[in-house]
Amino acid sequence: MLLRQPYLTLSEPYEFEIEPIKHSRFIASASPLKDEALVPDILNAVKTKMPDAGHHCWAYTLKQPERLKFSDDGEPGGSAGRPMLNVLQGRDLFDCLVVVSRYFGGTKLGVGGLMRAYSGAVAQCLDRASLNTVTPTLPLWLCHEYSDTSSVDSILSELKLVAAETLYGERIDVCLQVPDSQIIDIYKTLSTHVGGRLKLTLPPEVEATIDS
């Protein structure tokens, strides 16, 4: 099983305008992105907010599954979208869409100048944006008798685990969201508690790893 590592993402949208470059304005908008299908809506919102901008160049990265795309939106090829994407990749930032809107100032900047301007706008925006770490998790289901509730709560508290979902029927079923890197160790630890009466259910891909 390939363990997924924690990664950085945006906590909330952020917008920043850098100092004009030869009278051209560059306004960077960074947005959290959970689904590729949301890209058109975010782009349209930026374009609606800044309808007079000549270009709205963009780039994004998604983690699960890993995807990346970019657009120069009419700027010379390789001068905008790719440099913007390079900033995201250089910071290992995922689930993020960045848009840089340019108001032309009357002086051409050349490909090199545009690359520096677009990448710099993204970098300065992200320098100020709020980031957080996402830790990928897997579901571990735990089934126990009502009479074992106190003991189960105690071990979960000791392991600093919190139920993501609890179902009450003839027995109690608890879903724990456990970091990938810890799920096997936690499974083995829990299996030794409450007299072996706990029924644990792992995701199939993890179960196959233990069985092998």
Domains with residue ranges and CATH for the chain = 7-133 (3.30.230.30), 137-211 (3.30.70.240)
Give the chain as a 3 state SS string: CCCCCCEEEECCCEEEECCCECCEEEEEEEEECCCHHHHHHHHHHHHHHCCCCCEEEEEEEECCCCEEEEECCCCCCCCCHHHHHHHHHHCCECCEEEEEEEECCCCCCHHHHHHHHHHHHHHHHHHHCCEEEECCEEEEEEEECHHHHHHHHHHHHHCCCCEEEEEECCCEEEEEEEEHHHHHHHHHHHCCCHHHCCEEECCHHHHHHHHC
pLDDT of 208 reads: 66
Cβ pair 176, 203 in contact under 8 A: no
Residue whose C-alpha is closest to residue 181's, from 201, 162, 156, 209? 209
Alpha-carbon span 145 to 88, nearest angstrom: 48
Give the pLDDT of residue 122. Answer: 98
Burial of 11: CB neighbours in 10 Å, binned 0-12, 13-18, 19+: exposed
Residues of the chain with pLDDT under 70: 1-3, 208-212
Residues whose CB is less than 8 angstroms from the CB of residue 71 and which lie 6 or more positions away in sequence, other chains included: 57, 58, 59, 80, 81
pTM of the model: 0.77
Nearest alpha carbon to residue 1 among 136, 175, 146: 136
Q: What is the pLDDT of residues 154-193, one digit of tens each?
A: 999 999 888 999 999 999 999 999 988 888 889 989 988 8
Residue 205 pLDDT: 73
Q: What is the pLDDT of residue 211?
A: 56
Peptide bond into 65 cis (omega under 30): yes
Distances, alpha carbon 184 to alpha carbons 82, 157, 206, in Å? 39, 18, 8
